[in-house]
Structure 1
Amino acid sequence: MKAIFISLLFLLCSTFILAQDIQVNGSIQDELSQEPLVGAIIINQETNDYTVTDKNGHFTIEVGQDALLQFKLLGYAMLSLEAKDLPSIILMKQDNLVLNQVIVSASRATQRREEAPMAITSIGAAVIEEAKIQSLEQVINKVPGVLMTDLGSEQHMMSIRQPISTKSLFLYLEDGLPIRPTGIFNHNALNEMNMSMAQNIEVVRGPASSLYGSEAIGGAINFITKSPSLVPSAKIQLRGDSYGYKRLDALLEGTTNNGKLGVSIGGYSAKRENGYLDHSDFNKNIITSVIQYQVNESLKITNTSTYMKYFSDMGSSLDSTSFYNKDFTSLHNFTKREIELFRSTFTVDQEWTTSSKTVAKVFFRTNTLGQIPSYRIKNDWSNPSFAKGEVNESAFKSYGAVLQHNQKIKPLKTTLRVGASIDYSPTTFWANYIEVDRDENGKYVGYSPTDSVLSDYQTNLLNTGLYAQLEVNPVERLFITAGVRSDHFKYDYKNNLGIEAFSGAPNSMSYFNAVTPKLGATYTFRNGLGFYTNYSVGFMPPQVSELYRGVKVPELKPSNYKNIEVGSWYTLPKELGYLEVAYYQMKGTNEIVSVLQEDGSYENENAGSTHHEGVEAALHFVPNSQVFLRLGGTYTEHTFENFNTGKEDFSGKVMANAPNWISNMEITYKPNFLKGFRTSLELQTVSQYYMDNQNTKKYEGYHLLNLRFGYQIKGFETWVNIMNITDELYATRVSKSAWGENYNLGAPRTFQIGLGYTISKNK
């Protein structure tokens, strides 16, 4: 009897123990970047109880031993795992087909894409990594409505709701901060980015000045730096191409066991020698470090620092005869560009409550750009053996801060975001005249320095801004956003030269002010169909070079751009993909024009107005798990409404370098029978456009085919990209002036190969 009682007691205890819930915990991280994923939802399928990952990607949940757990996060493929077989680290894969991704650039804070009334695209780490890019246009141009033109050596021009341009119409950001101060825009500034440390790239199309201030007119490109991975990890990649390009990428990262301290350091060294274009060598070394410290559950401190040293030859563009005869010899053999920079940002992220959060950023930047520019070399018509040019250097140091507070008012279903920014940037510029020698073939073969100083001045730039944004969710699936920003600029100019100098403008103080509002709304139906509309304003104060290059300081006002747009998206049934479309109209006024004066001189004036209109569309289609089709394109019209220089009147003309059609299409295949293999075929199309504002001649445009192969097994990866597989002769930009036609040569057929290895605790 005693034995039976003991047996029953043992059985009851065993049953009770087996029936008890168990506590499971773990961490969730991105499969590719291995960074912790914050806000992932873990659902117990038996009870529908759930929990959410914390700032370190950690979670804890009580479940039955046989429970099935579901893992969900916007922008990632859903996972289902049994609790008893749960690994300590769960890897989630980015789902590039999810339309309502998590974005940050629309509000400087994390929010769902469906809440943002603007055209915005997020290029995820998976797309960047699989493309194996050698320069940024190879992924930026996948965004509909965007054309980033390659000028070689990671140099570029941009077109987003504007013609292909070197003007300060586009804002380039790193983690929400401009990488250069207002007033000294550089159209090549994206060559200052560390491609190997980009977690994702967000592209805003249309004005974003109500949040980010000046120059966010055609659009803004925000590079978001990857966070340190949860586990120790190291990656190395070697790549090269058939035209002398070589590059080494390296990354080390990890987080301590207690999740407090995370560190990553990564960068690359790239060089090209003896490229397809004469005098086009370059060398770039860039490194970025990220240090994160989780002080407690509500306070996190992050430092991100980047150092870069860059050198490139500056070959000449080609005339029409050289271009079509495939004579890629440069007219110059000594022109160059050199950059050395350092930038560092400290970020304090304080969460007061689940509804209240403050983010403060303090930054420092220093940047020196020295060059002997090929575009400044002019012939001496009195002596064919000589020409003239200049050697110059521009430099700045920046000290600044951005403070933003986000407050959710749950009873009103409202979020209020208020912020302030300050940027103090002392800048210098000097230029010396040089005498240039020409040979019997008209090539510029050398130069002699002189004591003649063309420019030597300092401008202390101060920009302060206040902004506020209100986001209201009055009824389910309807979001209304209203925002406004007030900016104030002070340009304190000191000339070190006399009034007789080439740039002899007197010492002066210039002030500019701008108020930029926006208003928009989004609504999403239950069937996945959504709409948005917005009105936004962008502005651009005069550049330093537009104010102080001459002998007097012109009276100028900021240029102003007003934009109206509507858009829609539709998530296809059965997870087949999605469709999005946007239509916009934008008008620019007070644009700065160099106007002929009565005495024969030219002076900058606010005398121009332009009209910009277009449709942008994209389709992502997935017929099955192995095939992915992406179609994207835009039709635009860019015209002068009023643009009279006193010598020429462009009013009513089509703007130069403004193709009507731009498209980028790609089909990707990842076969089930060969895991880790991928291949894609991409078509880039740019239609014809006028070379000049007088509309006298057109460039025919081009079609490019790119073919990519890649294979990954465990930590090893190899790839082959064949760019421009038809070897089409094309120019990334063509312009026409009184001196002739200028063609910026596009790369011929190029074979790119690479090999990489990643090692981590998970592998």
Structure 2
Amino acid sequence: MFNIFRIAAVTLLTLFAAVRLSAQTSLKGKIIDSSTKEPVTGATVQCTAGCACGCATTALGEFELKHMGSCCKSFRVSSIGYQALVFDAGNAAGSPVTVIQLQQENNALQSVVVTANREGVKRSLAPVAVSTVSSRMIQETKPVTVDQVLNKVSGVYMVNLGNEQHSMSIRQPMTTKSLFLYLEDGIPIRTVGLFNHNALLEMNMASVKSIEVIKGPSSSLYGSEAIGGVVNFITAAPPVIPVAKISVQGNSIGYKRTDLQTGSTSGKWGFAFNGYYADKRNSFMEYTDFHKGAVTARVDYNFSSRTTLSNSYTYLDYYSDMTGGIDSAMYGNKSFNSKHTFTYRKVNAQRLRSTLNHTWNDHSKSTAAIVYRNNSIGQNPAYAVKDDYRRTSSGEWKGQKDLAHGEINEASFNSYAMILQHKQKLNWHQTALIGGVSADFSPSAYTAGYIGINRDSVSGKYTGYAASDSMLTHYNSDVNNYAAFMHVETSPFEELRLVASLRYDRFNYRFNNFLPPSAYSGAPDSRNNFSRVSPKVGFIWNFSQRTGIYTNYSEGFVPPQVTEMYKGVKVPDLVPSVFRNYEVGGWAELIRGKLSADVSLYRMRGSDEIVSMMMDDGSYQNRNAGETLHQGVELGVTANPLKSLSFRFSGALSKHRFETFEEKGVAYDGKEMNGAPRWMHNAEAWYRPAYINGLRVGIEWQKIGRYFLDPVNTVKFSGYDVFHFRAGYSWKAMEVWMNVMNAGDSYYAYTASKSNYGYSYTPGEPRNLTLGVSYDLGSLFRKGRAD
């Protein structure tokens, strides 16, 4: 009997040990981003004991460790752009799925950038000047407008024109011209030939996870308008764990906003719904009210670990008073009264995108995307208001003092696009090929009707208007773009990475004018075709994992916009403007984990730029007659002397010059371009004390140097310096923040200009306080889960 009990006991102990050993030799988990709760792909999970136990996460952030050794007590998780983390395998083994959250690094030199090659590559392998605005930077800044984060990038100045309206400066003067390409997940926000300098107000910032900026021409990968730079907004994917964050904020100059960010993953399905509603009333400047509602819904389906389908729909409704700038007298007197009482801009935009990704094997991946855009912009524009009473060429004043002229216009388009792309890795010298084709069909329409405006002859205010049946412009146009591209990367030596890109674009324009051709209505019915081949070649040499240099040559082009080609033109006869860029740069981690820097030097020449030239009969005609030169140096420095203290400096020294340029009978040869500051920088410091976990305090300094107000270089604007203070505190699922913008209450203008009509200033906001609070209701669903 004793032997039977002894055998039974030994058997039970053996079974218990086997079960326990089985539990300890298998571990499943998910690695996610602590900010966005999205899966981290390609993260490495490695045993700290130095054995061979380890694996990498899948596209869904999942990992599974099998047959762990008895020495595997803990594991180290690491991924590019994230702080490494060690977790205890023993504590995690009892959970069916272990969820591990990684925090983003402050130093982004080794981050992965998608925009550099359309697929994703380490920053140290991309021979371009590229910067990333991380999700951590966005969440800590709490921007009210996009410029508050984009202007942190060296060489970038997004000009705030009020209520999310803007112009841009990236390796170009401050301009509204079509010299910048704006992408959403690698796809243009708007279609070719219908550029709008306010395109970024069509973004839903509640759905933006991060932003990538490539400075310089990138037409070889992305086509037209990629001249000064490419700005790519990476949107949020469905989070791995439930998220339902609600936030509210408001400031002391009339701005209020509510955000909703939700999402989760269940089995093969992933869902995300993000949006916000903003409203501003009775601000510091008259007639600057606005409201905006934007929502993005995304549904992902994972057929398998190799095949995923992502579907995204964005809807935006926007309205803003359009007060225009103020003149020199108002600016000098600090008067914020507006002459315009009824001008407006309203935008309705929809974007639908469906993307299928399939990974054939470890070396081969294909992507297919279809896109639909529907967009309309209606305006009673302040810039179109012209006084009837004005000085003639002989110096006399003529006309009615109580009358002005204006227009109400609407531009709309539908767009249907398809992009096919394939990536193939080769075993030969780590070579990778990325190629594809795209097609974009975009019918559009434009109408403009005349209005007579009542003007108070004493105050100068425009008090009302009367619509008429006089049609100034009415046309339809079709812009079709077909493209094929190829990108090649290879490493003949371990330290050297060679990169080359080539893209062919063809454009078919069809213009149908419903009015008799004239200076207002536009050209007669026309058909025009353009084509362009855009190359880019460069290399990067990595002396070590901490230091590298690069150089590249690239070309960019801009086809004539529909308005340049046909509006107010007798004979449409234009070709694309071309920009040729030479660039060198480098990056270095000077002190490991403490100090890093990157620098780029560029020289870019533009030719065949479109200018408005005076004809012999006194009329004006668009011609390819402008040549410009752009050169400069950009510097970024990041320092983390202590774990709780971080510094960032982003600066640019540049010069932009007219080479051969005659516009409306006036030559600007050899002059500096107006609206082009020689120096600008943005510096920032953050303090995150270890003794108060979750607290952050930061200060930011934005400087814009002096620049000429006019192209003949007669007068300069002094530029400005402005400081911002930010503080926030996160505790569990709640976060509160306070931003003091323009903390020193500086009086300045975001931008200033001079024309034949006088001076114009866009005044900067006075000191204002923003308070906000958010709470993640998703935490209630996550209780009891290991996260």
Q: TM-score range by the shorter chain?
A: over 0.9
Give, in whole Å, the separation in 2 of the partners of 1:194 and 1:384: 43
Give, in whole Å, the separation in 2 of the partners of 1:227 and 1:384: 57
From 218, 226, 229, the counterpart of 2:236: 226
Give, in whole Å, the separation in 1 of the partners of 2:736 and 2:597: 32
Q: Deviations over 1:397-430 (max 9, x none)?
A: 0001111000001234210111111110001001
User: What is the match of residue 630 of structure 2?
Assistant: 612
* Aligned pairs (5 A) from 1:519-538: 519-526=537-544, 528-538=546-556
Q: Deviations over 1:312-356 (max 9, x none)?
A: 000021111101211110110000001111110000001111101
User: What is the match of residue 40 of structure 2?
Assistant: 37
User: What is the match of residue 396 of structure 2?
Assistant: none
User: What is the match of residue 317 of structure 1?
Assistant: 325
Preserved CA contact (<8 Å) 2:569 2:621 = no
Structure 1 vs Structure 2 CA RMSD: 1.6
Give, in whole Å, the separation in 1 of the partners of 2:14 and 2:321: 82
From 657, 666, 669, the counterpart of 2:684: 666
Give, in whole Å, the separation in 2 of the partners of 1:355 and 1:71: 24
Shift, 1:6, TM fit: 7.5
**What SS does the corresponding residue of 2:234 show, helix, strand or coil?**
strand
Preserved CA contact (<8 Å) 1:554 1:603 = no
Shift, 1:41, TM fit: 1.1
Shift, 1:10, TM fit: 7.2
**What SS does the corresponding residue of 1:510 show, helix, strand or coil?**
strand
User: What is the match of residue 351 of structure 1?
Assistant: 359
Give, in whole Å, the separation in 2 of the partners of 1:595 and 1:475: 52
User: What is the match of residue 217 of structure 2?
Assistant: 207
User: What is the match of residue 473 of structure 2?
Assistant: 455
From 577, 580, 592, the counterpart of 2:610: 592
From 403, 413, 420, the counterpart of 2:420: 403
Shift, 1:180, TM fit: 0.7
Preserved CA contact (<8 Å) 1:592 1:606 = yes
**What SS does the corresponding residue of 2:104 show, helix, strand or coil?**
coil
Which region of structure 1 is more displaced relative to structure 2, 619-628 or 46-55? 46-55
Give, in whole Å, the separation in 2 of the partners of 1:624 and 1:223: 31
User: What is the match of residue 28 of structure 1?
Assistant: 31
Preserved CA contact (<8 Å) 2:379 2:409 = yes
* Aligned pairs (5 A) from 1:94-109: 94-109=104-119
User: What is the match of residue 386 of structure 1?
Assistant: 403
The alpha-carbon distance between structure 1 residues 75 and 500, as it changes in their structure 2 partners (threshold 3 A), is closer
Report runs of 4+ in structure 1 exceeding 3 Å deviation.
1-21
From 678, 681, 684, the counterpart of 2:699: 681
Give, in whole Å, the separation in 1 of the partners of 2:15 and 2:597: 57
User: What is the match of residue 417 of structure 1?
Assistant: 434
| Equivalent residue letter for 1:710 | G
Shift, 1:645, TM fit: 2.5
Preserved CA contact (<8 Å) 2:370 2:417 = yes
Q: Deviations over 1:554-574 (max 9, x none)?
A: 311100000111111111333
From 312, 323, 331, the counterpart of 1:304: 312
Q: Does 1:267 align with 2:284?
A: no
Give, in whole Å, the separation in 2 of the partners of 1:762 and 1:620: 36
* Aligned pairs (5 A) from 1:99-498: 99-256=109-266, 258=267, 260-381=268-389, 382-439=399-456, 440-498=458-516
Shift, 1:578, TM fit: 1.1
Q: Does 1:69 align with 2:69?
A: no
Give, in whole Å, the separation in 1 of the partners of 2:304 and 2:547: 41
User: What is the match of residue 80 of structure 1?
Assistant: 86
Preserved CA contact (<8 Å) 2:557 2:577 = yes
Q: TM-score, normalised by structure 2?
A: 0.95
Preserved CA contact (<8 Å) 1:255 1:263 = yes
Preserved CA contact (<8 Å) 1:531 1:567 = yes
Give, in whole Å, the separation in 2 of the partners of 1:246 and 1:741: 32
Q: Deviations over 1:110-169 (max 9, x none)?
A: 221111110111111111011011000000000001001111100111000000000000
Shift, 1:297, TM fit: 2.0
Give, in whole Å, the separation in 2 of the partners of 1:447 and 1:748: 32
Give, in whole Å, the separation in 1 of the partners of 2:545 and 2:231: 31
| Equivalent residue letter for 1:194 | N
Give, in whole Å, the separation in 1 of the partners of 2:321 and 2:120: 41
Give, in whole Å, the separation in 2 of the partners of 1:696 and 1:8: 98
| Equivalent residue letter for 1:625 | K
Give, in whole Å, the separation in 2 of the partners of 1:551 and 1:32: 52
The alpha-carbon distance between structure 1 residues 12 and 757, as it changes in their structure 2 partners (threshold 3 A), is closer
Give, in whole Å, the separation in 1 of the partners of 2:540 and 2:53: 31
Preserved CA contact (<8 Å) 1:200 1:224 = yes
Shift, 1:551, TM fit: 4.6
User: What is the match of residue 567 of structure 1?
Assistant: 585
Give, in whole Å, the separation in 1 of the partners of 2:234 and 2:754: 38
Give, in whole Å, the separation in 1 of the partners of 2:468 and 2:721: 46
Q: Deviations over 1:687-735 (max 9, x none)?
A: 0100000100000000000000100100111111000011111111100
Structure 1: give runs of 5+ residues left out of the alignment: none
From 669, 673, 680, the counterpart of 1:651: 669
Give, in whole Å, the separation in 2 of the partners of 1:587 and 1:81: 53
Shift, 1:477, TM fit: 2.9
The alpha-carbon distance between structure 1 residues 18 and 307, as it changes in their structure 2 partners (threshold 3 A), is closer
Give, in whole Å, the separation in 2 of the partners of 1:542 and 1:19: 70
Preserved CA contact (<8 Å) 1:74 1:98 = no
The alpha-carbon distance between structure 1 residues 354 and 15, as it changes in their structure 2 partners (threshold 3 A), is same
Preserved CA contact (<8 Å) 1:554 1:605 = no
Structure 2: give runs of 5+ residues left out of the alignment: 390-398
Which region of structure 1 is more displaced relative to structure 2, 423-432 or 406-415? 406-415
Shift, 1:443, TM fit: 1.1
Give, in whole Å, the separation in 2 of the partners of 1:500 and 1:214: 29
* Aligned pairs (5 A) from 1:745-756: 745-756=763-774
**What SS does the corresponding residue of 2:139 show, helix, strand or coil?**
helix
Give, in whole Å, the separation in 2 of the partners of 1:245 and 1:653: 41
Which region of structure 1 is more displaced relative to structure 2, 516-525 or 363-372? 516-525
Give, in whole Å, the separation in 1 of the partners of 2:184 and 2:715: 39
Preserved CA contact (<8 Å) 1:140 1:148 = yes
Give, in whole Å, the separation in 1 of the partners of 2:9 and 2:138: 63
Q: Deviations over 1:468-508 (max 9, x none)?
A: 00000222132110010000001100000013572241100
Give, in whole Å, the separation in 2 of the partners of 1:513 and 1:581: 34
| Equivalent residue letter for 2:414 | K
| Count of residues in Structure 1 that have an aligned counterpart in Structure 2 | 761
Give, in whole Å, the separation in 1 of the partners of 2:658 and 2:745: 35
Shift, 1:738, TM fit: 1.4
Shift, 1:200, TM fit: 0.7
User: What is the match of residue 59 of structure 1?
Assistant: 63
Shift, 1:13, TM fit: 7.1
Preserved CA contact (<8 Å) 2:53 2:69 = no
Give, in whole Å, the separation in 2 of the partners of 1:709 and 1:57: 32
Which region of structure 1 is more displaced relative to structure 2, 588-597 or 78-87? 78-87
From 576, 579, 584, the counterpart of 2:594: 576
Q: TM-score, normalised by structure 1?
A: 0.98
Shift, 1:527, TM fit: 5.6
User: What is the match of residue 637 of structure 1?
Assistant: 655
The percentage of counterpart residues that share the same residue type is 40
Shift, 1:15, TM fit: 6.7
